[in-house]
């Protein structure tokens, strides 16, 4: 799709030329504007609105072109900022991506809707052009009415009975001020109205070319996505297909498109499930390694406990053999030490049994998880 940057550049160049000309003739423009500031100000406001609207007609094509390019590339975020001119097509294709298939009737309907929206904007632009001309003519007739009233008053107020030519000439000059003011209003309004219509007309010409090019490119693209039916009149070597068969074929094609979209969604879900399964296997591998490390640690703890028990046994034997020559206080102290050591041994044994129990629970959970993964089910952690 061709972007309308070139037409925007021409429009900006035209506005720049008008501004340069206005800067050169600003004294005369200000003088002409002062004849009727109210009407001339209204003409300038309409001109500004027409310029902004014409630029907006071209700028909004960028959004439509971006949407078409995203749709053709298979992007997934085309529904976030939907088109305006192509809204019927966006509603018709729904969630389709990439290549689409249209019937000749659908193509005609889409193109007619797009052309109607473009013509609506053209009509508004032409209305601004006509409004500027109308305001210029309105100021012309308004000024002419003032001129006629001024001439009438000048003729009625002339007196020649005194015979003083200088006084009569001064009276004539003062009487002609009102007709001249009316003529200034008429010509200034016509000047600004026609100049404004010329400016908006140039911008409308460029906007029309940009929109026509956009329409032609959309038509070429949709024509390449259209399948033609053979339900027309019979020609040499061809047979007419009944309308109901053609409708059945179109319905079948639509069903195949829906099936393809469903399969693509299912494939995406399968890929995501495979990724989740791979992640779960990695985590189970880490858990297995951790459990192996814990088992080795338990073995070392058990060996340490056995060594500690042997040491305690030897200490008990030594204490039993040496208690004959020890007083009662020392014996009591040794008995307390023996009790504490036995308690330490019992707590160590209890901790080892608890760790063995937890290790067995983790192994059972790992076994159930691996079995569930092998059967294709989602594991449930209890």
Torsion-angle region of 188 (φ positive above 0: left; ψ -120 to 50: alpha; else: beta) = alpha
| pLDDT the model gives residue 51 | 93
The residue ranges of every structural domain in the chain are 5-227, 251-374
Q: Name the 3-class secondary structure at 239.
A: coil
CA dihedral 84, 207, 124, 19 (to 10 degrees): 130
Q: From residue 260, how far is each of 75, 131, 252, 267 by CA, in Å?
A: 17, 54, 12, 10
**DSSP 3-state of 4:** coil
Question: Is-above-0.85 flag for pTM?
Answer: no
β-pairing verdict for 226-227 and 102-103: parallel
**For the stretch 337-361, what's the b/e string if a residue is b when 16 or more beta carbons lie within 10 angstroms of its beta carbon?**
eeeebeeeeeebeeeeeebeeeeee
Q: 3 in helix, strand or coil?
A: coil
168 Cβ contact partners less than 8 Å away, ≥ 6 residues apart: 158, 159, 160, 162
Question: Can you give the pLDDT at residue 12?
Answer: 93
For residue 137, the Cα-to-chain-centroid distance in whole angstroms is 45
Would you state the pLDDT for residue 238?
42
The whole-number pLDDT of residue 349 equals 74
CA gap 123, 144 in Å, rounded? 31
Low-confidence ranges of the chain (pLDDT < 50): 230-240, 377-382
């Amino acid at each position: 799709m061709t972007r309308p940057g070139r037409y925007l550049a021409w429009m900006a160049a035209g506005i720049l030329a008008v501004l340069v000309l206005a800067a050169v003739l600003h004294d005369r423009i200000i003088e002409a504007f002062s004849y009727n500031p109210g009407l001339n100000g209204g003409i300038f406001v309409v001109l500004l609105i027409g310029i902004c609207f014409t630029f907006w007609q071209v700028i909004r094509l960028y959004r439509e072109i971006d949407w078409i390019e995203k749709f053709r590339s298979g992007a997934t975020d085309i529904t976030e900022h939907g088109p305006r001119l192509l809204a019927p097509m966006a509603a018709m294709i729904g969630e389709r991506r990439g290549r689409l298939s249209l019937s000749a009737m659908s193509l005609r309907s889409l193109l007619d809707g797009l052309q109607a929206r473009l013509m609506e904007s053209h009509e508004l632009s032409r209305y601004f052009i006509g409004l500027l001309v109308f305001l210029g003519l309105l100021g012309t007739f308004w000024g002419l009415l003032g001129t006629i009233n001024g001439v009438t008053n000048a003729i009625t107020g002339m007196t020649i009975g005194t015979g003083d030519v200088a006084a009569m000439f001064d009276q004539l000059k003062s009487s002609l001020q009102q007709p001249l003011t009316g003529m200034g209003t008429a010509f200034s309004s016509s000047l600004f109205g026609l100049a404004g219509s010329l400016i908006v007309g140039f911008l409308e010409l460029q906007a029309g070319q940009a929109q026509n090019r956009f329409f032609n490119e959309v038509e070429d693209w949709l024509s390449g996505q259209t399948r033609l039916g053979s339900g027309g009149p019979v020609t040499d070597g061809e047979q007419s297909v009944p309308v109901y068969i053609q409708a059945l074929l179109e319905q079948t094609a639509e069903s195949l498109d829906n099936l393809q979209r469903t399969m693509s969604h299912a494939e995406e879900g399968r890929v995501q499930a495979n990724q989740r399964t791979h992640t779960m296997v990695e985590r189970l591998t880490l858990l297995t390694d951790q459990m192996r490390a814990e088992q080795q640690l338990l073995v070392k703890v058990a060996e340490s406990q056995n060594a500690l028990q042997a040491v305690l046994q030897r200490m008990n034997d030594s204490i039993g053999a040496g208690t004959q020559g020890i007083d009662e206080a020392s014996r009591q102290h040794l008995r307390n030490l023996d009790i504490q050591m036995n308690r330490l041994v019992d707590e160590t044994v209890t901790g080892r049994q608890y760790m063995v129990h937890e290790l067995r629970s983790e192994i059972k959970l790992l076994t159930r998880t691996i079995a569930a993964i092998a059967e294709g089910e989602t594991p449930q952690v209890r």
